[in-house]
Structure 1
């Protein structure tokens, strides 16, 4: 089922598959399509909710709106209540992991477990000032028109090894305007708010939080931020197949690790 839900300053596009206990799959800037293969694998036993975050692709945002983690948490809480199959297990990846953590912090009553897969929480790191200054340069360069230069900086800062010529091929020439719009929204409205968000660790310790890291992400920035979060929460990170986007690239292998974490979840109905 594909549908939309109006909230105070946005209209959220969402998809629901299957029946059973509620599982939410969320990204930022990744949209519902990125999680569709994983959702298809889960729908036989669960109600699976995916969505486009506010301002991305099919989810609209009122003029002047932005995308803070607390706003995205409110959106998720509204969708979970609207679907009426919760409380939910929420798997968030990248900026969506920050959204999921914010949901657990601000709306703990709607979640059973939050699985934060590689949240880019730069402020948890000792070199946060340097990292955030570099991110400001990336955002400024992108918005000034240096798309390829900004992405090269982004991958270097994340310690993701992609040759410059590959980056040039990825982001040059004619591109999908919908994807370009989502990308620009990330640099203009999501990135700063996401990487500067500082969670309330005491509140998160009151919720069942799992920290996930890709097996191929060792040494990358999100490996560092995720490890720092797990250390602060006093939990052992769970290693998932693949790297930062393993859920999309190898969904079957990802699901093999994720599904055992859903065992024992029973529908409240």
Structure 2
């Protein structure tokens, strides 16, 4: 499994502050709309996520993916962001499978909120953190390099069955 910047804010030493930040994003979404919530979220994660490209400038398959991401943003704000960020993974349950887990983070997010849970979880599992190109949205920041890193990360050692 490759987990790129899993949003486990609840495991951080400053979890209360980070979860309050997420609650504020949700409040803004409900009271002022997606634009205000998104702007607050992007600022709070340290400006490490670039805006999505205009689908009209992309090949059809990529444009369709970006269009789906944009259409799903309200669902994410309403039903996923608070739930995902408050989740605490079970380290004891994950530990036996640590050799099959790749925790990844974007180089440009180092020191920022998206990077921190991945780094801490890797430390707790006793595995290395793998840095990918770009920021939180590395798959759109540097797609070719990101895919190359992903393919490499998915290589299963011969001893794993």
TM value normalised by structure 1: 0.48
How far apart in 2 are the matches of 1:177 and 1:209? 30
Paired residues of 1:143 and 1:187 also in contact (CA < 8 A): no
How far apart in 2 are the matches of 1:206 and 1:121? 20
Of Structure 1 and Structure 2, the greater helix share is in 2
How far apart in 2 are the matches of 1:136 and 1:187? 10
Q: Secondary structure at the match of 1:219?
A: coil
Q: Secondary structure at the match of 2:103?
A: strand
Mark the structure with the bigger radius of gyration.
Answer: 1
Deviation at 1:228, TM superposition (A): 0.9
Paired residues of 2:48 and 2:109 also in contact (CA < 8 A): no
Among residues 164, 176, 183, which one is paired with 2:73 in the alignment?
183
How far apart in 2 are the matches of 1:255 and 1:141? 34
Unaligned runs of 5+ residues in structure 2 are 55-65
How far apart in 2 are the matches of 1:193 and 1:211? 20
Deviation at 1:181, TM superposition (A): 4.1
1:243 aligns with 2:135: yes
How far apart in 1 are the matches of 2:136 and 2:48? 12
Among residues 105, 122, 141, which one is paired with 2:9 in the alignment?
122
Among residues 16, 19, 26, which one is paired with 1:139 in the alignment?
26
Deviation at 1:239, TM superposition (A): 1.0
Deviation at 1:184, TM superposition (A): 1.0
Deviation at 1:180, TM superposition (A): 5.2
In the other structure, the counterpart of 2:89 is 199
Among residues 192, 196, 217, which one is paired with 2:109 in the alignment?
217
TM value normalised by structure 2: 0.77
Paired residues of 2:106 and 2:131 also in contact (CA < 8 A): yes
In the other structure, the counterpart of 1:67 is none
**Over residues 188-239 of structure 1, what are the superposed CA-to-partner deviations in whole Å (9 max), with x where a residue is unaligned?**
1011111011110011111121110111111220111111111111111011
Q: How many residues align?
A: 143
Question: What's the Cα RMSD here?
Answer: 2.6
How far apart in 1 are the matches of 2:145 and 2:68? 29
